Amino acid sequence: MATYNLTINGKSLQVDADPNTPMLWVLRDHLDLVGTKFGCGIAQCGACTIHLDGNAVRSCQLPVSAVENSEITTIEGLSGEGDHPVQKAWIEHDVPQCGYCQAGQIMSAAALLKNNPTPSDEDIDNAMNGNICRCGTYTRIKAAVKTASQNL
């Protein structure tokens, strides 16, 4: 066990955890930020996607000991009122079915648009390919990313 000072969603937080504990479980079990989801544990599904200094990363493979000097953003901190252009576009296109993967999809999409505000179809496929949606909402996700791109 060790104590870590973390910056999550703009807040400074202290956590006691084993250094190898993945951020996924620090967020979910220690900090009650459960919007970040567990899907596979091996960075293959994208359900646990968060932002580390603005980049999309899989929190299930990110040990708490590696993030002390970084800014972490989770789905809970993506916007103040759930009104990030990506979140609004998701509602406009009524994207979710079961909804479980969508926080990860939204975090990947938001990171993509931050670095590339006008992505092509291929850019979207490349940036989102690590996020599985078992319900198969891919066509709506792509449409929503394009809508969000227009409303940035």
Partner 1 sequence: MTTVNTKINRRSFLKVSALAGGGMVLSFSWLAGCKPTAKEMLAMPKEWFELNSYIKIGDNGLITIYSPNPEFGSNVKTSMPMLVAEELDVDWKNVMVEQADFYPERFDRQFTGGSQGIRQGWKPLRTAGATAKAMLVAAAAQTWNVPASEITTSNGEITHAGSGKKAGYGEMASLAATLEVPEEVELKEIKDFKIIGNSKKNVDGQKIVTGKPMYALDKKVEGMKYAAIVHPPAFGMKLKSFDKESISGMPGIMDVFSINIFKDDYARNFFDTTTFPEIVAIVGNSTWEVMQAKKNLKAEWEEAPKSEFMAAGFGGNATEVTVPAGLENTSSHKARMAEYIQKPGNILRRDGDPEGQFKKAHKVIERTYSAPFLAHNTMEPMNAFAHVQGDKAEIYGPTQAPEMIRGTIEQALGIPKENIQINLARMGGGFGRRAYSHHLVEAALISQKIQAPVKMVYTREDDMSAGVYRPTYSATYRAALDENNKLLAFHVKAGGIPESPIHANRFPAGAIENYLAEGWDLPSNITIGAFRAPRSNFIAGAEQSFLDELAEEMGKDPIEFRLELLKRAEMDPVGENNDYVPSRYAGVLELVREKSNWNSPQANVHRGVSAYFCHNSYVAEVVDTVVKDNKPVVESVYAAVDCGVVVNPDAAANMGEGAIVDGIGNAFFGEMAFENGAPTKTNFDKYRMIRHREAPKKIEVHFVENTEDPTGLGEPLFPPVFAALANSLYKATGKRYYEQPFAPQLEMQNLRM
Binding site for partner 1 (CB under 8 A): 1, 18, 21-22, 25, 28-30, 32-42, 44-45, 47, 74-76, 78, 82, 87, 90-91, 94-103, 106, 121, 124-126, 128-142
Strand-pair partners of 7: 12, 71
Smallest gap, in angstroms, from Cβ of residue 82 to partner 1?
4
Smallest gap, in angstroms, from Cβ of residue 7 to partner 1?
18
Smallest gap, in angstroms, from Cβ of residue 55 to partner 1?
18
Residue with smaller CB distance to partner 1, 69 or 81: 81
Judged on CB neighbours under 10 Å (0-12, 13-18, 19+), 1 is exposed
Q: Check residue 130 and report its DSSP letter.
A: T
Given a contact cutoff of 8 angstroms between Cβ atoms, the answer to whether 137 and 97 are in contact is yes
